[in-house]
Amino acid sequence: MSNSRLFEILYYLLEHKQTTADTLANYFEVSKRTIYRDIQRLMMMNFPVYCKNGYDGGIYIDDDFVLDRTFFTDDERIEILAALQEFDYLKGENSQLINKMAAIFNLNVIDWIEVDLNSWYQNNDLNKKFNDLKRAIITNHEIIINYINSSGQKSNRVVWPYKLFFKSGTWYLLAYCLNKKENRIFRLSRILKLEITDKTFAYKNIDLSKYKNNLITDTKKEIEVTLQFDHQIASVVYDEFNHSDIIEKQNGDFVVTMKVSNTYWLMSFILSFGSKIKILKPDFLKEQLITEMKKMMEIYQ
């Protein structure tokens, strides 16, 4: 017996209030006998569904019934709708689902949040990529991706996609890479092409914490860096760093101390602020910055 069909029958009755076994049998492409068994199952589960004979006979559900009275508290049904809305920026499937759940819960949909993860300056295909990966994960289908790594090298990877996650403003895919024969994390922005194959795999529930905790920072290679920012870029400082890590000086400038492992990223970050930022320590990072600036000057000479 299909539990999903039971839910669909319940939703159909909530929407139409009254129907017939013939209508439900045609709608779900099953026999009338199957429909009557499903109705009996719903009645055994204490749903207020009943059958009536005669001229106005058929299958009914109480007019006052809403699903949350049986399964969910008031807070739970509100949280379910809110959680769906948090991901409604992907559009399409969730928009219809939100309206369905609102009808079942007998709630008005409050448009309380809107999230747009597309870049201001990139016309990318994040939505399609996300939905393709979601479908591959849910259906356990192997995928082939053309991927560019942090060194700029492109390669084709055959992977088993396990999970999508969002960290520090970026979407990532946790997957088992058949090329490397180990679990790997891939940035969605670096997946240039994606193909869902006909091959399937056995899903594994992977503990994501040990992967994402070391995604940005390798604690074994961390260095402590202290930077001074001009007061004119105060808004940027508060955008980029934890407020507890920021010290405001008497002249209005800011000092931030942090631990980083990716000095290449840090160098790009520092250069992006020009004369509005100064490295206080360590000294070797100052030397790296001077060397990089000399290389930049040579390009324009």
pLDDT score at 1: 46
Contact 8, 41 (CB under 8 A): no
pTM, 2 dp: 0.55
The sign of the CA dihedral 37, 38, 44, 46 is: negative
pLDDT score at 277: 96
Cα Rg of the chain (Å, integer): 28
Domain 126-212 class?
mainly beta
Distance spanning both ends of the chain, measured CA to CA: 76
| Residue limits of CATH 2.30.30.520 in the chain | 126-212
Mark out the alpha helices in the chain (DSSP H runs): 3-16, 21-28, 32-44, 68-71, 74-86, 93-105, 126-138, 209-212, 234-240, 263-271, 283-299
Closest CA to 59 of 43, 77, 80, 81: 43
On the question of a cis peptide bond just before residue 282, with omega within 30 degrees of 0, the verdict is yes
Contact 84, 97 (CB under 8 A): yes
The SS3 call for residue 55 is coil
| Fold of domain 3-61 | Arc Repressor Mutant, subunit A (1.10.10)
pLDDT score at 55: 74
CA triple 115-119-121, angle to 5 deg: 145
| Separation of alpha carbons 222 and 187, rounded Å | 22
The SS3 call for residue 253 is coil
| Residue limits of CATH 3.30.70.240 in the chain | 219-299
Length in residues, the chain? 301
Contact 2, 12 (CB under 8 A): no
Domain 219-299 class?
alpha beta
Phi, psi of 103, rounded to the nearest 5 degrees: -65, -40
Taking only the tens of pLDDT, the chain with its 301 residues reads 455 678 778 888 888 888 999 999 998 888 888 899 889 888 888 888 988 887 778 999 988 776 654 566 677 667 666 666 655 554 445 556 666 666 666 666 666 656 665 555 554 577 788 889 988 998 899 999 999 987 789 999 999 999 988 877 788 999 999 999 999 999 998 999 999 999 999 887 777 777 766 565 445 578 899 999 999 999 989 988 888 899 999 999 999 998 887 777 789 899 999 999 999 999 999 999 999 999 999 999 8
pLDDT score at 289: 93
Give bridge partners of residue 168 from the DSSP assignment. none
pLDDT score at 88: 55
Phi, psi of 259, rounded to the nearest 5 degrees: -110, 130
For residue 174, give both structure tokens. Answer: 């946790």
| pLDDT tens-digit series, residues 110-162 | 666 566 655 555 545 777 888 899 889 988 999 999 999 877 899 999 999 99
| Residue limits of CATH 1.10.10.10 in the chain | 3-61
pLDDT score at 293: 93
pLDDT score at 3: 57
| Separation of alpha carbons 167 and 214, rounded Å | 12
